[in-house]
Structure 1
């Protein structure tokens, strides 16, 4: 196993997938709570943190399966934040027998069509390269980062993002491989109990994405008041309370 991972606690396995532009430090304040109840696995996805950069199109779903096999975990609760939520959802659709429960936090979703406003925002960010300071400024100028920017955890967020930007200079490719058909067309076939958690200060596109998950048969949704997209850093207590209730323990 080439991916970097950390294991904490004992009991039912819970695997945490971080957001894009971050690394396993996305779960810094969540792991200590969950580790009191479960065996918690947090890892750096391919191209993030201490894991190797992709030399060919990354298959994040296959990476997660390989990690579970390496750790000899037959079944685990899978928890994904943002892009990690997209990976977790695709994984649960592809390998439902390996997932006891699915928890997604402000998730992305394969097959979702982003609004023109969102695409223009991403174009402004990409146009700022190679000026890293300008990239950071434009990346976090959305209302969905208002809470984290005024919190004590802002420095950690920026440190993760700077590390991510530096790491991407090592990537051999930015392409990735995803299961077909996309998850958005298969949510009605989800066999895994699913809970979605989202802050009430999210981008309209992220809110619309969350609404798509309502197609899942066994589904519940929780809104965290006063939280933005980085709810993992600013509201770990609330997240863990809901997750522990959902997962049991």
Structure 2
């Protein structure tokens, strides 16, 4: 196992998957709360934090399988944020017996077609390369970061994103491998209990993703008022309450 991970607490295993442009610090406030009741595993995805950078197309789903096998975890609750939610969803579809519950926080979704507005925003960010300061400014000034960037955690968010951008300079490739067919075409096949959490301040694309997940047969939706895409950093206690309530019911 070459990925960096940390384990805390005891009990049912819960694996936390961080968002894109971040690392395990995405969970620095949520993980200690969950560790009061569960065995919590946080890790840096390939190309993030203290984990090695990809030298060939990354397969994040298989990385998660290797991690579970390494820790001898037969079945776990997966909690994925943004890109981490995409990984958790695809993993659940590929290895359903390895997942006991699924918690998704403003997840991305394989096969989802982004709006032209989103594509234009991403193009402006890409055109700013390699100016890290400009990339950070264009990225974090977006509406989905309005609340985090006016909070006491703005410096943490900016530093985490800067660290990620510096890390990508080490990547051998930006390509990745995902299961086929894409998850958007198979959501109705998710049979485990699923919790979907999203903040009120979000991109319209992320709200459209939420509507796609209504195909999941056993899913519960929760909106957290006064939060944006980085609800993990600004509202950890509310997340903790909703997640533990959900897990205790199962």
| Fold-level similarity (TM above 0.5) | yes
4+ residue segments displaced more than 4 Å:
none
Q: Deviations over 1:95-140 (max 9, x none)?
A: 0100000000010000000000000000000000111100000011
The answer as to 2:33 corresponding to 1:33 is yes
Give the structure 2 partner of residue 99 of structure 1: 99
Q: Deviations over 1:38-95 (max 9, x none)?
A: 0000000000000000000000000000000000000000000000000000000100
Give the structure 2 partner of residue 129 of structure 1: 129
Could you tell me how far apart the structure 2 residues matched to 1:115 and 1:28 are? 32
Aligned-residue CA RMSD (Å):
0.7
**Alignment: residue pair count:** 249
Give the structure 1 partner of residue 112 of structure 2: 112
Residue 14 of structure 1 contacts residue 76 of structure 1 at CA under 8 Å; is this kept in 2? Answer: yes
Give the structure 1 partner of residue 195 of structure 2: 195
The answer as to 2:88 corresponding to 1:88 is yes
Give the structure 2 partner of residue 177 of structure 1: 177
Correspondence 1:5-154 to 2 at 5 A:
5-154=5-154
Matched position secondary structure for 1:248: helix
The answer as to 2:237 corresponding to 1:247 is no
Could you tell me how far apart the structure 2 residues matched to 1:172 and 1:225 are? 40
Give the structure 1 partner of residue 238 of structure 2: 238
Q: Which runs of 5+ in 2 are unaligned?
A: none
Matched position secondary structure for 2:146: helix
Q: Which runs of 5+ in 1 are unaligned?
A: none
Deviation (angstroms), 1:141: 1.7
